[in-house]
C-alpha cells in the first residue's frame, strides 16, 4: 500500500511539474548582470531584491535593458514609484544606430503617477505613433494604480496580440504588427522640475516565461480591443459586428459623390491607404468627394487618417449627395480634419467650431490636448450615432457630443452655413463621405458597426 501511495504521489508530482509554467528571473537579487544602460546617464542600482532607478535633471530618458531579446512571452513584475515620477517598462524594444543614433524605441508599459492615471496603458516610445493604448480606451483601469505601494504588472505578448494587466485587472488589449521581438527595459524618464531631482522608481520580482506561452495566456479578455493592423478585422471585431468599409487594395464599395463610379483622378491607393491627392486646395475641385455605396443610420464609424502640412479635409455622415448640385462639397454632418496650426480655417467660424474634430461650423471640439494628435502619424477618428445622440472621438478621447432633431439643434443649424439646406442633420440615414479639399490626406482602417 505504501509503495502504491509513493508511486501515485510521484506520478502526481511529475504531472504537476510538466504542466507548470516555467519562469526565468531577470534580476538575480545581487547585481545588474544581464542588463545594460542606454540613453541618459542616471543611476540604476541593485538594492536587495529590487532594482532602483533615480531621476536626474538634465538627462534624457534612460533605460536599463536586458542583454537578451524576446519575442513571444509573458512578463510579470512589481513596481513602486515616488509621487510625480513618470516611468515605464519597455518590451519588444530596440536600439540601433540607424534609428536616431541608437534611441530606444518600442512598446512601453506605462507607469504613471500623474492625475490622468494611465498606468498599464501602452506607449510607442520615441516614435511618431505615440500612444497606442491610452486608458481613455478603458477608463475603469484608471482606478487600479496604488500610489506609494507595490503594484503588480503582467504583459502577455504573443504574436500580434499584446495585453496588459495591473493589480490583477486587464488594462490594455491590442493587435499590432510593428514589433515582433526586442529587449525588456526599465525606464527612468527625463525630468524638468528640480524638485523631482533624486525621485526614485523601483522594480522587483521581474520574471519572464517564453516556453509554450500560448498555453498560458489568459483566455478571457475584459479590455476593449484595438486593432492596429491596417485594413483587417480581428475575430473579436467580427464577433462584435464590425465590417470593413474599405478593403485596403481596391475602390470597391465607394463612388464619387456626383458620379456613378469611382473618380478617374484625384484619388489613389498607396501602400494600404486611400489617398486624396494634393491639388489647389479647392473644395471638391479635383477628383471630388467619395461616398459609400450604402447608407447608414445608427452606427459606430472608425477611420484612421493622416494629414500633410496645412491640410484640410473631413469625414461626413448623413450625406445626401443630391442635396447640393452646385459647386463645393456634398452636404452632411462633418468631423473636421484640419491642420489647426497652419490652415486659416482654424481661426474662422465661431469659438473654434472649424478646428480638428469639431462638428464643422456647428460645435467646437473640446479636450483635444488629451487626444495627443500627431500630425505626421495616423490618428483615429470615431463617430458614434445612436438615435439622435452623436459623438465625435479622436484617439480615444471624446471631443464632441450633441443631440440632433430638437429645437436647440435647429437653432444651431440656423446660425450656421447649413441654414439653407432643408432637413440638414435630421435625416434618418445617409452615406459616409471622405472629402476632397485639394490637400493630400490618407485614410485607412475604415470600419463600421451598424447599430440598427
Per-residue pLDDT of the chain (452 residues; tens, 9 = 90+): 554 444 444 444 444 434 689 999 999 999 999 999 999 999 999 999 999 999 999 999 999 999 999 999 999 999 999 999 999 999 999 999 999 999 999 999 999 999 999 999 999 999 999 999 999 999 999 999 999 999 999 999 999 999 999 999 999 999 999 999 999 999 999 999 999 999 999 999 999 999 999 999 999 898 999 999 999 999 999 999 999 999 999 999 999 999 999 999 999 999 999 999 999 888 988 999 999 999 999 999 999 999 999 999 999 999 999 988 778 899 999 999 999 999 999 999 999 999 999 999 999 999 999 999 999 999 999 999 999 999 999 999 999 999 999 999 999 999 999 999 999 999 999 999 999 999 999 999 999 999 98
Q: Which helix (H) or strand (E) holds 185?
A: strand 183-188
E-state strands within 196-311: 200-209, 225-227, 242-244, 254-256, 267-270, 273-276, 290-292, 299-307
Give CATH superfamily name and number for 22-227.
Exo-inulinase; domain 1 (2.60.120.560)
- Grid coordinates given for 109: 508599459
179: its cell numbers: 514589433
Q: What was the pLDDT predicted at 197? A: 98
Could you give the C-alpha distances from 276 to 129, 354, 439, in angstroms and in order?
22, 20, 7
For domain 235-450, give the CATH superfamily: Exo-inulinase; domain 1 (2.60.120.560)
Cross-strand pairs, 338 = 312
Q: Provide the CA 11 distance to its chain's centre, in angstroms.
A: 48
H or E element that contains 431? strand 431-434
| Residue 6: per-residue pLDDT | 47
pLDDT reported for residue 331:
95
How much is the pLDDT for 14? 40
Strands (E) located in 86-139: 86-94, 105-112, 122-125, 130-133
Q: Which of 303, 170, 161 is nearest to 236 (CA)?
A: 161
Q: State how far the Cα of 356 lies from the Cα of 360, in Å rounded to an integer.
A: 9
Q: Burial of 17 by CB count in 10 Å (0-12 exposed, 13-18 middle, 19+ buried)?
A: exposed
Torsion angle (degrees, nearest 10) of CA 413, 418, 420, 421: -100
Query: Pick from 226, 192, 256, 258: which is nearest to 122 by CA?
Result: 226
Nearest Cα neighbor of 135 from 167, 159, 170, 161 is 170
d(CA 394, CA 228): 15
Q: Hey, where are the domains in the chain?
A: 22-227, 235-450
Predicted model pTM: 0.92
pLDDT at residue number 18: 46
Q: What is the pLDDT of residue 203?
A: 99
In order of 110, 120, 214, 341, 361, the CA distances from 123 in angstroms are: 7, 10, 24, 25, 33
Give φ, ψ of 219 to 5 degrees: -70, -35
Amino acid at each position: 500500500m505504501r509503495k502504491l501511495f509513493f508511486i501515485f504521489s510521484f506520478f502526481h508530482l511529475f504531472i504537476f511539474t510538466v504542466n507548470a509554467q516555467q519562469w526565468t528571473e531577470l534580476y538575480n537579487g545581487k547585481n545588474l548582470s544581464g542588463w545594460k544602460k542606454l540613453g541618459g546617464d542616471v543611476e540604476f542600482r541593485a538594492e536587495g531584491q529590487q532594482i532602483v532607478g533615480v531621476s536626474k535633471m538634465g538627462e534624457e530618458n534612460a533605460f536599463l535593458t536586458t542583454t537578451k531579446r524576446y519575442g513571444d512571452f509573458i512578463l510579470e513584475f512589481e513596481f513602486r514609484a515616488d509621487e510625480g515620477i513618470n516611468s515605464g517598462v519597455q518590451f519588444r524594444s530596440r536600439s540601433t544606430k540607424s534609428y536616431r543614433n541608437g534611441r530606444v524605441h518600442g512598446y512601453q508599459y506605462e507607469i504613471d503617477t500623474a492625475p490622468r492615471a494611465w498606468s498599464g496603458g501602452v506607449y510607442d516610445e520615441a516614435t511618431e505613433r505615440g500612444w497606442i493604448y491610452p486608458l481613455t480606451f478603458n477608463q475603469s483601469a484608471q482606478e487600479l494604480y496604488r500610489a506609494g505601494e507595490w503594484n503588480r504588472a503582467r504583459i502577455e505578448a504573443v504574436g500580434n496580440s499584446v495585453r496588459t494587466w495591473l493589480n490583477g485587472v486587464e488594462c490594455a488589449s491590442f493587435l499590432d504588427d510593428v514589433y515582433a521581438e526586442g529587449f525588456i527595459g526599465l525606464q527612468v524618464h527625463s525630468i524638468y522640475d528640480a524638485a523631482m531631482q533624486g525621485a526614485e522608481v523601483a522594480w522587483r520580482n521581474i520574471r519572464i516565461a517564453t516556453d509554450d506561452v500560448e498555453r498560458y495566456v489568459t483566455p478571457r479578455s475584459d479590455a476593449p480591443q484595438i486593432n492596429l493592423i491596417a485594413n483587417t478585422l480581428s475575430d473579436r471585431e467580427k464577433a462584435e459586428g464590425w465590417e470593413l468599409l474599405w478593403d485596403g487594395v481596391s475602390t470597391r464599395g465607394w463612388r464619387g459623390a456626383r458620379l456613378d463610379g469611382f473618380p478617374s483622378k484625384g484619388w489613389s491607393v498607396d501602400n494600404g491607404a486611400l489617398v486624396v491627392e494634393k491639388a489647389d486646395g479647392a473644395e471638391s475641385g479635383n477628383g471630388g468627394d467619395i461616398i459609400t455605396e450604402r447608407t447608414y443610420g445608427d452606427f459606430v464609424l472608425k477611420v484612421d487618417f493622416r494629414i500633410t502640412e496645412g491640410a484640410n479635409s473631413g469625414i461626413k455622415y448623413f450625406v445626401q449627395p443630391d442635396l447640393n448640385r452646385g459647386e463645393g462639397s456634398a452636404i452632411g454632418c462633418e468631423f473636421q480634419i484640419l491642420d489647426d496650426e497652419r490652415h486659416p480655417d482654424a481661426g474662422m467660424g465661431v469659438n473654434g467650431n472649424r478646428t480638428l474634430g469639431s462638428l464643422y461650423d456647428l460645435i467646437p471640439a473640446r479636450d483635444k490636448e488629451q487626444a495627443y494628435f500627431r500630425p505626421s502619424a495616423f490618428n483615429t477618428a470615431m463617430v458614434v450615432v445612436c438615435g439622435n445622440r452623436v459623438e465625435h472621438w479622436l484617439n480615444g478621447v471624446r471631443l464632441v457630443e450633441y443631440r440632433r432633431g430638437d429645437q436647440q439643434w435647429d437653432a444651431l443649424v440656423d446660425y450656421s452655413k447649413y441654414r439653407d439646406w432643408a432637413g440638414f442633420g435630421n435625416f434618418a440615414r445617409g452615406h459616409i463621405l471622405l472629402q476632397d479639399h485639394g490637400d493630400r490626406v490618407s485614410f485607412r482602417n475604415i470600419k463600421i458597426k451598424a447599430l440598427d
